[in-house]
């Protein structure tokens, strides 16, 4: 079915406007984005001491004007591509805005490289906005919106907006899986997961109380297969144990979301399961037109975060690589993943899949 029609149906279901209304005078969809380096669009550029920054070449080499922007990839993030598909601009980084700017009415991106569900995740990046920090900033945004358009219109805007949340990768990669950090020494995998889960329950609830209803949580990919983790194995293989922990995390969050959908009135939380899509891309790169999925396109700093070295050597054909650096997918891989993500928002027969619960 035509993507335009699918979009109209999707927008109708999530905005409460009928499909024929959407075509002409639809108020555009508002999105608020929370996350880590997989979704950041430049907040950390404003954190002078942060080591989780990517505002240097050759990050952005395939982005507009070939300029680094603070995105942790050579081109677009998955969020950028989803925004394109929704026909809206990708929301700007919160720290780039004057907090009272009118543009906040159209959506904001709070994502910050190195961030986690837990406050102490990514500690060694020195500066990053944890999920709690991001919600603090969002709370500020809700106050400004209320001051601008009044309580009632603001509540409507906040209830109808879509909230994309991608968190948890750093709680493993840059916290629990670092043997020298306290969380790794202190907790068993089950205890750590329980802590993440209860913190996340608090964070979802806090967003709900601030007006969020339609929240899409982006589940974790097979972190054991990213280049930085493979490099820890003797033969550059995926780390099976890490992938097991990720699957347990995903399954626990999915259950949490089911519970919250019952507990929180009118909440429409959704779990977007992308694990298998990423794994398929890694296992069968040629199926999607890629050649290499077991190492990064750029040469990386193996000590801090697996980012490309500044002015690193980059691979000849960036479209052939699933991974740009040792952590983040390339623009070409993000395009494939965004397609999969987006198509899951629609049932194949045109009915809308944006219903509470599970997607994927
Ligand atoms: C989170 O960590 C920051 C330092 O990065 C600290 O200033 C803040 O008080 C912590 N917040 C909580 C709730 O623990
Ligand atoms: C919060 O919003 C106020 C305007 O209401 C602004 O002056 C302030 O700087 C904002 N705080 C942050 C941390 O962005
Ligand atoms: C990646 O996989 C290819 C085979 O598909 C192999 O030839 C190559 O050595 C591997 N690279 C690394 C870094 O393991
Ligand atoms: C479309 O598919 C959904 C889920 O597969 C099903 O519940 C619904 O009844 C279908 N609608 C029509 C019109 O066939």
For 43-58, what is each residue's pLDDT tens digit? 999 999 999 999 999 9
Residue 228: domain span: 3-359
**pLDDT computed for residue 342 by the predictor:** 86
Say how many domains are in the chain: 1
Residue 24 has pLDDT above 80, yes or no: no
**167-188 confidence digits (pLDDT tens):** 999 999 999 999 889 999 999 9
- pTM, entire model: 0.88
Beta bridge partners, 166, equal: 35
**pLDDT computed for residue 318 by the predictor:** 97
CATH classification of the domain holding 134: 3.40.50.1110
**pLDDT computed for residue 354 by the predictor:** 52
Q: Are strands 214-218 and 321-323 parallel, antiparallel or unpaired?
A: unpaired
In the reported structure, the alpha carbon of residue 294 is separated from the centroid of ligand 3 by a whole-number distance in angstroms of: 6
For residue 359, give the ligand nearest its CA.
Answer: 4
For residue 99, give the ligand nearest its CA.
Answer: 2
**102-125 confidence digits (pLDDT tens):** 999 999 999 999 999 999 999 999
237 lines ligand 3 (CB under 6 A): no
Higher pLDDT, 359 or 89: 89
Higher pLDDT, 126 or 12: 126
Q: Please state the rounded mean pLDDT for residues 258-263.
A: 96
Show the tokens assigned to 220: 């974790």
- 251 band by pLDDT with thresholds 50, 70 and 90: very high
Which ligand 3 atom minimizes the distance to the CA of 236? Answer: 14
């Amino acid at each position: 079915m035509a993507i335009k029609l699918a979009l109209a149906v999707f927008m109708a279901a999530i905005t409460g406007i009928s499909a024929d209304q959407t075509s002409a005078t639809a108020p555009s969809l508002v999105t608020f984005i929370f996350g880590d380096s997989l979704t950041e669009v430049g907040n950390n550029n404003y954190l002078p001491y942060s080591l989780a920054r990517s505002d240097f070449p050759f990050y952005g080499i395939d982005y507009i004007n070939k300029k680094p922007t603070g995105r942790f990839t050579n081109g677009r993030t998955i969020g950028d591509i989803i925004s394109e598909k929704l026909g809206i601009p990708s929301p700007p980084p919160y720290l780039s805005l004057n907090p009272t700017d009118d543009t906040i009415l159209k959506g904001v991106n709070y994502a910050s490289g190195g961030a986690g569900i837990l406050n102490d995740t990514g500690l060694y990046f020195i500066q990053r906005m944890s999920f709690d920090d991001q919600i603090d900033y969002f709370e500020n945004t809700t106050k400004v919106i209320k001051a601008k358009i009044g309580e009632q219109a603001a509540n409507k805007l906040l209830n109808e907006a879509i909230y994309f949340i991608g968190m948890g990768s750093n709680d493993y990669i840059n916290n629990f899986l670092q043997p020298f950090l306290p969380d790794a020494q202190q907790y068993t995998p089950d205890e750590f997961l329980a802590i993440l889960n209860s913190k996340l329950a608090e964070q979802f609830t806090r967003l709900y109380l601030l007006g969020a209803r339609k929240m899409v949580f982006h589940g974790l990919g097979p972190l054991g297969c990213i280049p930085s983790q493979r490099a820890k194995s003797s033969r550059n293989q995926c780390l099976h144990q890490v992938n097991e922990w990720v699957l347990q995390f995903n399954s626990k969050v999915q259950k949490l979301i089911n519970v919250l959908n019952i507990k929180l009135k009118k909440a429409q939380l959704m779990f977007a399961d992308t694990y298998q899509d990423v794994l398929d891309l890694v296992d069968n790169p040629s199926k999607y037109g890629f050649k290499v999925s077991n190492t990064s396109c750029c040469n990386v700093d193996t000590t801090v975060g697996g980012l490309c070295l500044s002015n690193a050597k980059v691979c000849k054909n960036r479209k052939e690589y699933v991974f740009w650096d040792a952590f983040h997918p390339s623009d070409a891989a993000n395009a494939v993943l965004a397609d999969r993500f987006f198509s899951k928002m629609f049932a194949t027969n045109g009915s809308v899949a944006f219903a509470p619960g599970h997607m994927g």
